[in-house]
Chains A and B, each alone.
Chain A
Amino acid sequence: MLTELREQLKAGSAEDYLEKLFETIRRSKINAFTTLAQESALQKAREFDKSPWPGPLAGIPVAIKECISTAGIETNCSSRILQGYIPPYDAHVVERLKAAGAIIMGKTNMDEFAMGTSTETSCFGPTRNPWDLERVPGGSSGGSAACVSAGEAPCSLGSDTGGSVRCPASFCGIVGLKPTYGLVSRYGLVAYANSLEQIGPLTLTVEDMALMMEVIAGHDWRDSTSASQERWSFVQGLQRGIVGLKIGIPQEYFGEGVDNQVEKATWEAISRLEALGASWQQVSLPHTRYALAAYYVIAMSEASSNLARFDGLRYGLRVGEDQDWHTTFSEIRARGFGPEVKRRILLGTYALSAGYYGRYYLKALKVRTLIKNDFLRAFKEVDLLASPTMPIPAFKIGERINDPLSLYMADVFTVPINLAGVPAVSLPCGFAGQLPIGLQLIGHHFEEDLVLKAAYAYEQATPHHLKRPEVA
């Protein structure tokens, strides 16, 4: 779709297209955007219309998650503490988007500092699910998923620390990828949990995903955890088919706690993959039940340290009269962070404290190794793993926000992937009533090509991705 859009924009007017998007957003009830870069984006579009430039994303507007730095456009992670912060620099992925000809159209809503599964913890209020405005779009990249699903943006970037791209992709019925750790530079991504997260695109189709990934994947010397290969090719191999592909079904990802309709849709998807020439077998990822605990210890520990820099001294929120240092920065942090962020800072600080470090953080790292080994063992037998992305379809706004544990439990199939550092895509595989269901395909490290090839084959053989919410 992006390829066709690019040709349309070249022949027609990028300005008109962008104006139409902004008009849709203005009338929208979804609350996907936090900041619209109307002036700079329209300016760019007019320049493009005057003399179109080349590039794989030439003239295409892209929406960017709040936590990805954009030079000159406020980047506040949907937190009061960062309101008013305008980065002086672009994240590596934003540089790459611009170099590919894209136009940055605005920033999208998210759970505060990416801490959530529902986009309800944002200081801008919740984003709504385009399929049912009473429901959450998933999170934390809820804005990025909702805007694409609702036709308010052709594509977007999110970030995935424990499912934050795949969960909202699943709830909003679009495609979302969590790349292999190290494939996409994190330079400019405001860190939640550095060792787990990756920036990933959200798109309407798998082909669009492959195109976006070709633009943003590749080495960046400013990120020491970035893999060395400069450029990656994903589009070319999409149509090669999946005959002979071996798919593993992790037994721990089915059964108790999984919604019946979700489980049914996932099995149908597996059958469809089989019909397309793949084979499947049961595999076991025996340490899955420790994944959530390990994930939350690691993520919160890193977060407690990452978020220490927000003291209002150099940027962001200032409150009242300046007192002495301790009083002032305590006051700013007390007022600037929301309850979920405070909860995670406290838990993370506790887990890293003297006497507890070995019991929690080090232990979590050991579990992480075991989980990674589970995946490595599975990938000796199979090429891909398939599972539900989320155990349930989108839930109602307010339904779970006061029960953090039940929210954390929803991440059960997405966090092991981040712990292992492997890539996974979520794509539409059916509906529970009105609500989309997502299929998760998991690959070996740096085998995004295989993941996308299988996703493409499935998508082309099914109609789910063609159905759009009424608001779109």
Chain B
Amino acid sequence: MEEVIIGLEIHVQLNRLHSKLFCSCSTGYHNAEPNSHTCPVCLGLPGSLPVLNRKAVEYGIKVGLALGCKIEEETLFYRKNYYYPDLPKGFQISQYDYPLATGGQILIKGDDGERNIRITRAHMEEDPGRLVHAGTIDKARYTMVDYNRCGMPLLEVVTMPDLRSPKEARSLLDKLRSILEYLDVFDGNLEGAMRVDANISLSGGDRTEVKNISSFKGVEKALSYEITRQRNLRRRSMKVVQETRHYDELRNITVSIRSKEEAHDYRYFPEPDLVPLRIAAWVPAIKSTLPELPDARRERFVSEFGLTDDHAKSLTSEVKVADFYEAVAAKAPAKLAAVWIADVLKGELNYRGLGIESFKESHAVDIVNMLDSSQITEDVAVEVIRTILDKGGDPGGIVKAKGLGKAGDEAVIRAVREAVAECTAALADYRAGSPRALNYIVGQVMKKTRGRADPGEVHRLVLQEVERA
């Protein structure tokens, strides 16, 4: 089958900044009254002038460095001219020639193992406002504009067409988000924090651009739809038309919005109200503040704590989880902690739609240590985690209140004797040469001790008892 070729343009809101890109309006507009976070500058009132937020540029450079990009000596802002009601100046201040950062790469989990996806460039621009339609976009009687988002600092990261499947595209987005959160420049939980334009083609064919997809899942779905659509066209010997398409999330289809002929001529020219910015000198200081990034941390987790690569990867993809793990590993056996956090706790949190911040580090430390010293069994540990998440409490208290401490030797021995005596059929099977029948008896013992016995120990005792009987 023909090869799928995908390149992404990812618009990242640098939403950990406190003020907008060209004015001092607050970025904390989520849940605020429409048009309450505006001023003459971000409303583009006549006579207002932009003043560049230095910190936003620093954040942009930080991301550029983290992606292995070359930071330009001098960077320039341009006007991108087009008319739209969410754009109060009739142009967007963006970058064109001399962007902040060029080159670079992101390591992703590809369809055939790990692979570097090349980054073309990363440049800064201002976010437009937001249109709110009274009803659906095609039937709305009127549309309202909210300029709160207008002027939010965006970083546009552009990849080379190196991606080969929707899954790889998703993988790249996950990784980028991970890096951005490590850098503390981005909060992916806020609405509209990351928006994607995807360019897609089948080898030998023209490409289409699907614009403004606002969720990771949406990117995967839109791309899958586009691949099917383009393949179907090809099958029927029809040509893919180079055009811009819109992804309709509700109907899960893409629809044409602009042909190649209707493509905008943005008439880029240098923004005369901003001066060229020499940023070369800023780089060393920013470089020195770069934190350890996910890939490096993953390698360190393997070498420092002796974790498997899978565990290390699972624990480092989110910076909060990695921090959590390191805090726990400092006070409890590291390998055991890795297994329990990566395999159990993350799953339980995920199931409940919770983040790692919903669980206390000290509780994890207690649980891992109790497991390590055989005070509780694995089954009990799972129950404790679930109880904490669903009802609250602390591990010690829950174990005590529920009587979940490991069963004493006598209780276990009593349970073993009872089980062997009761399970006559299983015993007969075992003696007839079926060793696995023993597992049934072990299960009965675990039931009698309500999971508080160590299964390995029980297995040994059952075997002993069976041989003796």
Contact = CB atoms under 8 A, between A and B. Distances in A.
Interface of A: 67-69, 75, 77, 82, 85, 87-89, 91, 186-191, 193-195, 221-225, 301-302, 304-305, 307-311, 313-315, 322, 325, 329, 349, 352-354, 357, 361
Given A75-B46, A308-B90, A224 B267 contact: no
Interface string B43-78: 111111111100000000000000000000000000
Given A91-B47, A305-B91, A353 B273 contact: no
A357 B47 contact: no
A384 to B, nearest CB: 28
B267 A191 contact: no
B46 A222 contact: no
Contacts of A302: 269, 272
A195 B274 CA distance: 10
Interface stretch (B81-89, B346-354, B388-396, B399-407): B81-89
A88 B81 CA distance: 26
B265 A354 contact: yes
A91 B143 CA distance: 32
- Which A-B residue pairs are the 6 nearest by beta carbons? A308-B90, A352-B267, A195-B272, A194-B272, A190-B46, A188-B47
A65 to B, nearest CB: 12
Interface string B380-423: 00000000000000000000000000000000000000000000
Nearest to B147: A314
A311 B267 contact: no
B275 interface: yes
Contacts of B89: 308-309
Among B79, B91, B143, B267, chain A packs the most CB atoms within 10 A around the CB of B267
A313 B59 CA distance: 34
Contact of A69 (B47, B143, B274, B275): B47
Contact of A87 (B45, B90, B274): B45
A353 B49 contact: no
Contact of A305 (B46, B145, B267): B267
B435 interface: no
A224 B50 contact: yes
B430 to A, nearest CB: 81
Contact of A361 (B88, B269, B273): B269
Contacts of A225: 272-273, 275
B36 to A, nearest CB: 14
B355 interface: no
Contacts of B275: 224-225
Contacts of A223: 49, 273
B274 A224 contact: yes
B137 to A, nearest CB: 12
A186 B49 CA distance: 8
B46 A82 contact: yes
Contacts of A310: 46, 90
A67 B46 CA distance: 9
B40 interface: yes
A69 B268 CA distance: 27
B441 to A, nearest CB: 77
A305 B47 contact: no
Interface residues of B, number: 30
Given A87-B46, A88-B40, A309-B88, 6 more contacts: A188-B47, A191-B47, A305-B79, A308-B83, A308-B90, A314-B43
Contacts of A68: 47
Nearest to B274: A224
Interface in B245-276: 265, 267-269, 272-275
A310 B89 CA distance: 8
B247 to A, nearest CB: 21
A68 B81 CA distance: 24
Interface in B96-141: none
Contacts of A313: 85, 88, 145
A224 B46 contact: no
Nearest to B43: A314
A311 B85 contact: yes
Nearest to A349: B267
Nearest to A307: B90
A224 B49 CA distance: 8
B57 to A, nearest CB: 13
A224 B79 CA distance: 16
23 contacts: A67-B47, A68-B47, A82-B46, A85-B46, A89-B40, A89-B48, A187-B47, A188-B47, A191-B47, A194-B272, A195-B272, A224-B49, A224-B275, A301-B269, A305-B79, A305-B91, A305-B269, A309-B90, A311-B90, A329-B85, A352-B267, A352-B268, A357-B269
Contact of A224 (B43, B52, B143, B145): B52
Among A69, A191, A309, A353, chain B packs the most CB atoms within 10 A around the CB of A309
Contacts of B46: 69, 75, 77, 82, 85, 87, 190-191, 309-310
B20 to A, nearest CB: 14
Contacts of A77: 46
A75 B40 CA distance: 14
B49 A187 contact: yes
A352 B269 contact: yes
A325 B85 contact: yes
Contact of B81 (A67, A191, A352): A352
A325 B267 CA distance: 21
Contacts of B145: 313
Contacts of A91: 47
B90 A221 contact: no
Among B44, B85, B89, B269, chain A packs the most CB atoms within 10 A around the CB of B269
A145 B273 CA distance: 27
Contacts of A87: 40, 45-47
B267 A329 contact: no
Contacts of A314: 43, 88
Given A305-B91, A314-B88, A353 B47 contact: no
A314 B91 CA distance: 15
A77 B46 CA distance: 10
A222 B267 contact: no
Contact of A311 (B43, B49, B83): B83
A220 to B, nearest CB: 9
Interface string B220-244: 0000000000000000000000000
Contacts of A190: 46-47
A381 B145 CA distance: 58
A77 B273 CA distance: 20
A311 to B, nearest CB: 7
A189 B265 contact: no
Nearest to A196: B272
B90 A305 contact: yes
Contacts of B268: 352, 357
Nearest to B41: A222
Nearest to B44: A309
Nearest to A352: B267
A77 B81 CA distance: 22
A308 B91 contact: yes
A343 to B, nearest CB: 17
Nearest to B22: A224
B133 to A, nearest CB: 12
A193 B142 CA distance: 35
Given A305-B267, A309-B89, A354-B265, A224 B44 contact: no
Contacts of A305: 79, 81, 90-91, 267, 269
